C-alpha cells in the first residue's frame, strides 16, 4: 500500500500546527506559568524550547520522513535492534496515555461550548461565580462523561477519514481564526483595570519565584506544546515528502505555537490580576477567568461560542495527532484496516480516560502520590514519559543512527537554507547530539533526586 502523504508542505505545516497548538497552549501554559511564578518561568520555558524542544522536533520529524514509517518501525530502521523497536512502541503508548487525559479536558471545553450556546457562560459577575459553575459541572459525572464521550466520538470520526482530508484542510482555516479570536480576547483583557499587573507578572522576571521543580515543568511543557516525545511528530513526518525543508517547516510551527501560548497568557492574566485572583489557581484557571470577560463584553455571547468552537477544534486536531501513532502502528505492523485500527484505538482511549474524567467529582478523593488521577496521569506523561521519549529520539538520531548521516538526510530540501545560514546546521548538529540530550538527562536526574541542579 502506498503511504499517504501530505499534499503540500503547507499542508504538513498546518497539520503539525494543528497538533502543536491546542489546549496545551491555551489551557495548560497559562496555569503552569501561574503555578510557577510568571516571567522567570516563561524565560526558562523559551530556553527549553530553543535548546531542547526545537532540536527534538527536528530529530523526530527527520526520523519519520527518512524512514517513512510509524514510530516503532522508524526506531527499528534507525536503531537496527529489537530494543529500539520496543522503545519506539513506548513512545506510541505515551501518546495513547496523553489522549486519555487530554480528551477529558477537551471534552470539558466541548461541554462548555454547549453551555455557551445555552447562554450559561455570560452571566458571571466574578471569578468566584465562574469557579462555582466550573466545579458544579465538572464534578457532575453525567455532564463530564457525556461531554467526554461526544468529544471522543468526534475525534474518531475525523480519524476515520485519514490524514489528508481530515486533518490538512480543516486546520488551514481554523488555526488563523483561532489566532484572531485570541487577539480580540487579548485586546479586551488589556482594557481591564490593573491589566498591567498581569503584564508585569508575565514579562518582568523575578528569579526567586522559581521553585526546584520549575525546570522539569518548563521542559515538560515545552515538549508537550510541540507534541514531542510520543511518536506524533515521527508519524506526521512520515507522511512528508523528501523534497521539503524540515527546518523551514519546523520554525513556523514553533513560532506559531509559542505566539498562541503567550497571547493566551496575556488574555488570562489580565483577567486574573484585574479580578484579584491568585495566579496559581491550577487547571481551572482558564475556565474561571475567560467566562468573566465574556459576561462583561458586548457581543460576549458570540465571542464565547466562537472561542469555544475553535478551542474544541484545536483540541481535536491535537487529540487525533496523539492517537495517530498507535493507529499507524496497528496499520503498518499488525496489517489492520484503518477502520479497525481507529475503532480499537479510539475506544480504548475513551475507556482508559474515564477514571480521569471522574476524578473531578465522584472519584475526587482517589489519589496517587497525593495527586488526583487526572493530575497523576498528566504529570507522568508530561514530566516523565514525554521528556524520556524526546531523549530517546535524540540518542537514536544523534548517536545510534549517527549525526553525520542524519544531517545528510536533513540537507535534502534544506541545502539552500543551510547555505544561507550556516550556523543553523551547526546549531542542529550540536543541539541534537550534545546539548539537548545532556540537558534532558540532567533534568531527569534532578527529578529523580540523584543530583541537585538548584
Ligand atoms: N501539543 C498539544 C497541545 O499543546 C498537545 C499534544 C501533546 C498533542 C502531545 C499531541 C501530542 O495542545
Helix (H, G, I), strand (E, B) or coil at 149: helix
| Contact (Cβ atoms closer than 8 angstroms) between residue 121 and residue 271 | no
| Ranges of the chain whose pLDDT falls below 70 | 1-2, 7, 162-167, 454
Integer Cα distance of 4 and 6 in angstroms: 7
The phi and psi torsions of 367 (rounded to 5 degrees) equal -130, 150
Give the pLDDT score at 216.
87
Angle at 153 between CA 150 and CA 154, to 5 degrees: 90
Nearest CA to ligand 1 atom 7: 227
Cα(126) to centroid of ligand 1, in Å? 31
Q: What are phi and psi of 70, to 5 degrees?
A: -75, 160
Q: What is the pLDDT of residues 112-162, one digit of tens each?
A: 999 999 999 989 988 889 999 999 999 999 999 999 999 999 999 888 876
Q: What is the predicted pLDDT for the residue at 408?
A: 92
**Which positions ≥6 away from 192 have C-beta within 8 Å?**
270, 271, 274, 293
For residue 222, how far is its CA from the centre of ligand 1 (angstroms)? 10
Ligand 1, residues at Cβ distance < 6 Å: 19-20, 22-25, 95, 98, 224-225, 227, 230, 232, 318, 321-322
CA-to-CA dists, residue 20 to 16, 53, 67, 226, 260, angstroms: 6, 12, 22, 5, 10
Q: Which atom of ligand 1 is nearest to the CA of 257?
A: 4
What CATH superfamily classification does 9-447 receive?
Answer: Hydantoin permease (1.10.4160.10)
Alpha-carbon distance values, 237 to 69, 74, 177, 325 (Å): 9, 11, 25, 11
Tell me how far apart the alpha carbons of residues 13 and 161 are, in angstroms, rounded to a whole number.
19
Return the C-alpha cell found at 18: 494543528
Question: Which element (helix H / strand E) includes 283?
Answer: none
pLDDT of residue 166: 60
pLDDT for position 163: 57
Which pLDDT score is estimated for 419?
A: 86
pLDDT of residue 22: 94
**Dist CA 104 CA 363 (whole Å):** 14
For position 210, what pLDDT does the model report? Answer: 85
Partners of 204 in the β-ladder = none
The secondary structure of residue 284, as a DSSP letter, is G
Half-sphere exposure of 128 toward its Cβ, with a 13 Å CA cutoff?
2
Amino acid 134: pLDDT: 95
Give the span between the Cα atoms of 438 and 430, in whole angstroms: 11
For ligand 1, pick from 15, 17, 18, 19 the residue to mutate: most ligand atoms within 8 Å of CB.
Answer: 19
pTM across the whole model: 0.92
Residue nearest to atom 2 of ligand 1 (CA): 20
Determine the straight-line distance between the first and last CA of the chain, rounded to whole angstroms. 52
Distance from residue 98's CA to the centre of ligand 1 (Å): 8
Q: Which numbered atom of ligand 1 lies nearest the CA of 315?
A: 12
- Cell numbers found for residue 93: 503508548
Amino acid at each position: 500500500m502506498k503511504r499517504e502523504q501530505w499534499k503540500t508542505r503547507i499542508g504538513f505545516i498546518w497539520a503539525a500546527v494543528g497538533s502543536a497548538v491546542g489546549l496545551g497552549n491555551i489551557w495548560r501554559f497559562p496555569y503552569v506559568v501561574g503555578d510557577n511564578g510568571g516571567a522567570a518561568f516563561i524565560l526558562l520555558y523559551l530556553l527549553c524550547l530553543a535548546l531542547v524542544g526545537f532540536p527534538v522536533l527536528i530529530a523526530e520529524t527527520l526520523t519519520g520522513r527518512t524512514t517513512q514509517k510509524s514510530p516503532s518501525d522508524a526506531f527499528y530502521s534507525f536503531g537496527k535492534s529489537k530494543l529500539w523497536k520496543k522503545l519506539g512502541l513506548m513512545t506510541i503508548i505515551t501518546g495513547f496515555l496523553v489522549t486519555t487525559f487530554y480528551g477529558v479536558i477537551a471534552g470539558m471545553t466541548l461541554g462548555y461550548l454547549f453551555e455557551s450556546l445555552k447562554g450559561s457562560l455570560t452571566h458571571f459577575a466574578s471569578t468566584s461565580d465562574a469557579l462555582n459553575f466550573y466545579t458544579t459541572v465538572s464534578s457532575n459525572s453525567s455532564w463530564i462523561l457525556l461531554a467526554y464521550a461526544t468529544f471522543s466520538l468526534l475525534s474518531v470520526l475525523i480519524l476515520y477519514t485519514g490524514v489528508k482530508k481530515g486533518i490538512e484542510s480543516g486546520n488551514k482555516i481554523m488555526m488563523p481564526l483561532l489566532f484572531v479570536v485570541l487577539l480580540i480576547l487579548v485586546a479586551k483583557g488589556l482594557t481591564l483595570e490593573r491589566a498591567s499587573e498581569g503584564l508585569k507578572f508575565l514579562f518582568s522576571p523575578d528569579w526567586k519565584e522559581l521553585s526546584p521543580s520549575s525546570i522539569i515543568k518548563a521542559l515538560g511543557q515545552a515538549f508537550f506544546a510541540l507534541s514531542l516525545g510520543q511518536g506524533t511528530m515521527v508519524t506526521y513526518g512520515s507522511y512528508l515528502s523528501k523534497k521539503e525543508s524540515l527546518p523551514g517547516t519546523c520554525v513556523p510551527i514553533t513560532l506559531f505555537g509559542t505566539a498562541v501560548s503567550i497571547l493566551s497568557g496575556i488574555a488570562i492574566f489580565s483577567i486574573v490580576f484585574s479580578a484579584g485572583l491568585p495566579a496559581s489557581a491550577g487547571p481551572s484557571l482558564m475556565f474561571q477567568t475567560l467566562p468573566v470577560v465574556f459576561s462583561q463584553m458586548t457581543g460576549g455571547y458570540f465571542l464565547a461560542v466562537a472561542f469555544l468552537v475553535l478551542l474544541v477544534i484545536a483540541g481535536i486536531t491535537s487529540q487525533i495527532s496523539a492517537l495517530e501513532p498507535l493507529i499507524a502502528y496497528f496499520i503498518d505492523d499488525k496489517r489492520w484496516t484503518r477502520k479497525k485500527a481507529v475503532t480499537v484505538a479510539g475506544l480504548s482511549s475513551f475507556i482508559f480516560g474515564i477514571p480521569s474524567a471522574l476524578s473531578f467529582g465522584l472519584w475526587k478523593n482517589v489519589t496517587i502520590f497525593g495527586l488526583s488521577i487526572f493530575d497523576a496521569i498528566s504529570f507522568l506523561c508530561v514530566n516523565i514519559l514525554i521528556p524520556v521519549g524526546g531523549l530517546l529520539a535524540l540518542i537514536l538520531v544523534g548517536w545510534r543512527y549517527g549525526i553525520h548521516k542524519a544531517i545528510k538526510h536533513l540537507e535534502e530540501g534544506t541545502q539552500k537554507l543551510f547555505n544561507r545560514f550556516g550556523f543553523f546546521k551547526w546549531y542542529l548538529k550540536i543541539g541534537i547530539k550534545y546539548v539537548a540530550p545532556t540537558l534532558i538527562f540532567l533534568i531527569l536526574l534532578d527529578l529523580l533526586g540523584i543530583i541537585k541542579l538548584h
